[in-house]
Structure 1
Amino acid sequence: MPRIARTIQNEVAEPVQDELDLNFDIPVNIVIGDVRKCLSQLPEQTFRCCVTSPPYWGLRDYGAENQIGSEITVEAYINDLTAVFREVRRVLTDDGTFWLNIGDSYTSGNRTWRGPDKKNPARGMSYRAPTPNGLKSKDLIGIPWKLAFALQQDGWYLRSDIIWNKPNCQPESVKDRPTRSHEYVFLLTKSEKYFYNWEAVREPTKNQKQYRSKRTVWDVNTEPFSAAHFAVFPPGLVEPCILAGTEPGDVVLDPFFGSGTVGLVCLRTKRKCVGVELKTEYVQLAQERLRPETDLFLPRAAINVI
C-alpha cells in the first residue's frame, strides 16, 4: 500500500509512491506495470545507461488500454515519450548515456481501421489515426527526428544519430518508393561530459589489421524470436550501446523491456539490468529467454519479478 503524506496547509491526503523493491544482488529485475507510473518509483541516479526501443506509433496493438503507441495524434505520442524519458533522465547517473531506438511511420491516408494479420495478431489496430495536421496521404511522418528534437528541447544533449541498417530487412509490397531497411538509434546524454568507452566498441578496418572508432552506420540483422509473433530487439544492436556506455557491474535500464534483449546482453557482459514491461505475457517470454543464460552463468536465482 502507498504511504499517505499530509500537506499541513490544507490537510489534503495525497499518495506518495514507495520506491520499488529492487534487489541489486540479483542481475535482472523485471517490473510489471505501466512505465509512466513505475519510473517515478525508481531512485534517482541509479542507472549508468538506458537502452530501449519504445512501441512505434500506430504500428501494433499490444492489447492494453491507453498504451503508448496508440495515441490519436503524433504530438500526443511525442509528448508521452518525452515525459517518460524525462523520468529516465532523473534516474540516470550524471555521466550516464541514453540509447534510443525508434522507427518511423507513414500517414494512413485517412483509413481508420486495419484488420489483424493472421501471422501476427498484434499488427491489427482497431483504430488508425487520421493523417496528422500539415501532412498528406502517404507522407513519411519523420517521427524519429520529431522525438529527437523534442528530447533536445526538454534538456537532453543529442550527441549522435546512428543508422541501424538491416541487411535482412522485411520485404515490402510498395512499388512507388524504396523498401525501408533502416531505423535510428539516438545517443543522448544528461550533460556535455559523460562515460563513453570508445575502445570497447572499436571495429576492424577493411584489411583487418587495424582498428578504428565505431562509425554511425551499424549493419545488424533482425532476429526472430520463436516464442513471439514479432521481431525482437537484436542483441547485436544492443551490445555496442552497453559496452560503450557502461562498465562491468553497472546497472542498465530498459523501460520497454519486451522480450528481454537488454537483460540478455547485460547477463552476457556482466552488467545488471532493470526492465519495465506492461504485459505479463511478455514478462513470461523474457523469463523463458533469460533463464538459459542465468542457468549457464549464475547457479542461483537471478531474475527478480516485481
Structure 2
Amino acid sequence: MDTLFDLDEAPATDPFDPSVSRPYDLLRHDDGADYAATVTGGGSAVVCGDAERVLAAMPAGCVRAVVTSPPYWGHRDYADPAQIGHEETVFDYIERLADLFEGVRRVLADDGSLWLNIGDSYTSGGRRTRMADRNNAARTIDFRPDTPEGMKPKDLIGVPWMLAFALRERGWYLRTEVVWNKPNGQPESVRDRPTRSHEYLFLLTKSEKYFYDVDAITGPNGRRNRSIWDINTVPLAESHDAAFPPELVYTCLSHSSERGDLVLDPFLGSGTTAMVAGSMARRFFGIELNPEYVSIITRRLAGRAAA
C-alpha cells in the first residue's frame, strides 16, 4: 500500500534556532535531580528518567504537540520496577496515567494537542501468566492481572475509552477518536472471535480552540483526512517491539504542529517520534525510563545524523 511518509527518504534536519532555548536547557534543576540526557542536536533532547518527575521540571506551556503511546496494561514486561502497565488493577493503571497526563497538560501550550495511542486488553479469566504466543512472541509476559471488578472472564475491558473518559473528567477536551487500522497486523491465536487488527488514537486538547491544520493531509480531489487510518506496522531490527510506524507520527504532527515547534513524547520507546519530528524540522523532547531503550534511540538518531 502507498504511504504518506517514508522515514528512510526524509531529510535528517536539526531545526535549531539560536533564539530558541535548547530543549534540555528548559529543564529546571533546582530539585537536585541529575537527569541523564542524550542531547542529539541543538533542537533535540532525550532524557532517561521517570516521566512524571521530568515533566515537573519542564516549564509550563512550552510544548506545541505531544504524540505518545504509554505501555499497555498487562501486555509487556519492560523490566523496570517503576514501569507503567504492571498495576494490580486496570483502575489503578488508569488513575496513574491520568495523574501523569496532568503533567503533560501543564507543559502543553494553550493551543497545543495530544495524540494518544492506547491498546486494549481482555480479562484474564483467572490465569496469572500468559504463555508465549507462537504467532506474536512480543505478547509474552510473566503475569496477568486478575479479572477487574464488574467484569467477566474473556471480557474486552475497553481500556482506551476508560482512559479517554478519565482524561476528559480531568479537563482535557476529547476531540475525536481515530481508528488505526493495521493491514499487516499480527494474527492472534484465538478461535472464538475475529482477530483484532486496529488500535485507537485519541486527539485531546488543552483548550476549546487550538491549532489544527485541516488541510495538511488530503486525499484525492482535496478530500480531508478521515478518522480511519490504514497504516502498516513497521518492524525494527532492534529489541523494542512496540514501535510507532513513522507514518502515524507524521500524520499527527502534520495536523498539529508547525516548523520549529517543540514536540514531546513522554514514553519515547524506540525514538520514532523524535526521528520523525526532526525530519519535519520540529524540535523534540523525549523521555524514556529504560536505559536500554535510550541506547536504541541514541543509535537510531546517530544513524540518521550520519546518513
Q: What band does the TM-score fall into relative to the shorter chain?
A: 0.7 to 0.9
Determine helix, strand or coil for the equivalent of 1:200. coil
Contact 1:120–1:229 (CA<8 Å) still a contact in 2? no
Matches within 5 A, 1:155-234: 155-202=171-218, 204-205=219-220, 210-228=221-239, 230-234=241-245
1:142 to partner: Cα distance = 0.1
Q: Report the residue type matching 1:274 in the other structure.
A: F
2 CA distance for matches of 1:214 and 1:254?
A: 23
* Residue of structure 2 in register with 1:46 after alignment: 62
Q: Report the residue type matching 1:74 in the other structure.
A: V
1 CA distance for matches of 2:117 and 2:50?
A: 19
Of 259, 267, 273, the residue aligned with 1:248 is 259
Q: Which moved more, 1:108-117 or 1:97-106?
A: 108-117
Contiguous gaps of at least 5 residues in structure 2:
1-27
> What RMSD over aligned residues (CA atoms) do the two structures have, in Å?
2.3
Of 124, 135, 142, the residue aligned with 2:151 is 135
Higher alpha-carbon Rg: 1
Name whichever structure is richer in strand by fraction: 1
Contact 1:61–1:122 (CA<8 Å) still a contact in 2? no
1:127 to partner: Cα distance = 2.4
Q: Which moved more, 1:103-112 or 1:36-45?
A: 36-45
Q: Does residue 262 of the first structure (1) align with residue 273 of the second (2)?
A: yes
Q: Report the residue type matching 2:227 in the other structure.
A: T
2 CA distance for matches of 1:125 and 1:72?
A: 14
Q: Report the residue type matching 1:237 in the other structure.
A: L
Contiguous gaps of at least 5 residues in structure 1:
4-14, 297-306
Determine helix, strand or coil for the equivalent of 1:228. coil
Determine helix, strand or coil for the equivalent of 1:196. coil
The verdict on how the C-alpha distance between 1:161 and 1:53 changes in structure 2, with shifts beyond 3 A counting, is same
Contact 1:19–1:41 (CA<8 Å) still a contact in 2? no
1:232 to partner: Cα distance = 1.2
2 CA distance for matches of 1:119 and 1:294?
A: 35
Of 27, 34, 39, the residue aligned with 2:43 is 27
* Residue of structure 2 in register with 1:37 after alignment: 53
Contact 2:37–2:45 (CA<8 Å) still a contact in 1? no
Q: Deviations over 1:237-273 (max 9, x none)?
A: 1101111111000000000000001011111111011
The verdict on how the C-alpha distance between 1:293 and 1:60 changes in structure 2, with shifts beyond 3 A counting, is same
* Residue of structure 2 in register with 1:82 after alignment: 98
TM-score, length basis structure 2 = 0.85
Percent identity of the aligned residues?
Answer: 51
Q: Which moved more, 1:223-232 or 1:184-193?
A: 223-232
TM-score, length basis structure 1 = 0.85
The verdict on how the C-alpha distance between 1:18 and 1:62 changes in structure 2, with shifts beyond 3 A counting, is closer
1:141 to partner: Cα distance = 0.2
Give the paired residue count: 280
Of 288, 301, 305, the residue aligned with 2:299 is 288
Q: Report the residue type matching 2:299 in the other structure.
A: E
Of 71, 75, 78, the residue aligned with 1:59 is 75
1 CA distance for matches of 2:252 and 2:245?
A: 12
* Residue of structure 1 in register with 2:283 after alignment: 272
1:39 to partner: Cα distance = 1.1
The verdict on how the C-alpha distance between 1:118 and 1:280 changes in structure 2, with shifts beyond 3 A counting, is farther
1:126 to partner: Cα distance = 3.0
1:125 to partner: Cα distance = 2.8
* Residue of structure 2 in register with 1:7 after alignment: none
Q: Does residue 96 of the first structure (1) align with residue 107 of the second (2)?
A: no
Q: Report the residue type matching 1:285 in the other structure.
A: I
